[in-house]
Each structure stands twice: as structure tokens, then as C-alpha cells.
Amino acid sequence: MRLSLLWSREFLTSRFILWALFISNLLGTVYGYIWYEAQLRETWANYPRWLIPFVPDSPTASLFFTLALLFLMFPATLSKYNRIHTLIEALAVVTSVKYGIWAVSIIFAGAYQGEVLVWQDWMLVASHLAMAVEAMLFVRFFKYGTVMLLAAGAWTFLNDFIDYSFGVYPWLPKALWDDVGYVAVFTVALTGASIAAGWIAMRAAKRI
């Protein structure tokens, strides 16, 4: 089997692959929200409750991608939701790339400063890298345009502002507790880079 087949349209949009990715991303999303349970409970008890949607960043990104796959699987049935469809696709790309790279970077930054990596960290590295990779692989099958990409970017920048203004950013490794300011700058810069990646990939896809 040719290696190029693995990222071909025929392979990636086959019913088997779409269903496999849908189920794995759905399960990962559920697991992600469970992972955030302690922080969600703390936020509910000690912060304004309107902040709750801004707490679980990675599982929400995974949810966007899961929904984007649903639109790919049932295009005729869901065609009447076109605007929602393209916004979800843009959100899936921007947030999956952003939080996929963010989580891996934070884990290794903590390790660099002395944090001991355990098996859960390696599981998170693999799953978050997969988020970023699958988002980039599927951009060429998505239909979002510049307007929806900018809307997704605005939401992601808003999420960054809420996270670091109100202190509801994802819990960091202990070694990074004194580096929150640097993490905030990195996070915002990564949002910008993810929007740029989504735009470049979108433009490249239109030339294919």
C-alpha cells in the first residue's frame, strides 16, 4: 500500500475512517470533560458560573472536530445548517491546532523545569498531537471561509482573555506555577499562529 493513500481523500473520507474518527473523538471528548471535573467543580464553587464554558479548553476543541466530522458524514441531512456547519469547521481547525500544540508544549515545558512525566502525560501528548494533525488533514474537506475563520479566531482570543484575566486557565504543572505570565503570552501567540495555519491551509486547499 502506498503511504500517500493514508492522507488521500478516498481513504480519509471513507465511511469506516469517518466513523472510526467520530467515535474516537467523541470518546476523547467525554474523557476530556471528565478530566476537567475537579477544575469545573472548583470553578462552580468559587467563581462566577458564567465562566464554566471557558474552563474545558481541549475537550471543547475535540467536540468541535467531532461535530465537524458529523457534517462530513451526513452532508445532505445537515445541509440546512450551513452557517453553523462552517463555523464549527473553523472552530475545529483553530482550536484543535491551538490546544493540541499548547498541551504538548506545556507538558514538555514542565518536564524541562523538573516535572516528572508519568504515563498519563505521554497519553496526553499522543492524543493532543493527534488533534492538531487530524485538523490539518481535514481542512481540505471543510468549507469554511475567511469570515468564519475570523469568528473562530475571535472566540479563541476571547477564551484566552477570560482564562488569564479570571484565572480559569487549564491547571498547569507545578513547575510552571510561577510562569503564568509567560504561559499567557505563549497562549495568545499560539492562537494567532493557529488562525494563520487555518487560513494558509484553507487557501492551499482551494488550489488543489
Please tell me the predicted confidence (pLDDT) of residue 5: 63
Query: What are the extents of the domains in the chain?
Result: 3-207
> Residue 152 and residue 142: Cα distance in Å, rounded?
14
pLDDT tens per residue, range 112-148: 999 999 999 999 999 999 999 999 999 999 999 999 9
Please tell me the predicted confidence (pLDDT) of residue 76: 77
pLDDT band at 165 (very low <50, low <70, confident <90, very high): very high
pTM (two decimals): 0.93
Please tell me the predicted confidence (pLDDT) of residue 4: 63
What values do phi and psi take at 76, rounded to 5?
A: -70, -45
pLDDT tens per residue, range 17-43: 999 999 999 999 999 999 999 999 999
> Residue 184 and residue 188: Cα distance in Å, rounded?
6
Cell of 54: 471557558
pLDDT band at 3 (very low <50, low <70, confident <90, very high): low
pLDDT tens per residue, range 94-116: 999 999 999 999 999 999 999 99
Q: Is 179 exposed, middle or buried (0-12, 13-18, 19+ CB in 10 A)?
A: middle
Please tell me the predicted confidence (pLDDT) of residue 147: 96
Please tell me the predicted confidence (pLDDT) of residue 6: 64
Q: Is the predicted pLDDT of residue 86 greater than 60, yes or no?
A: yes
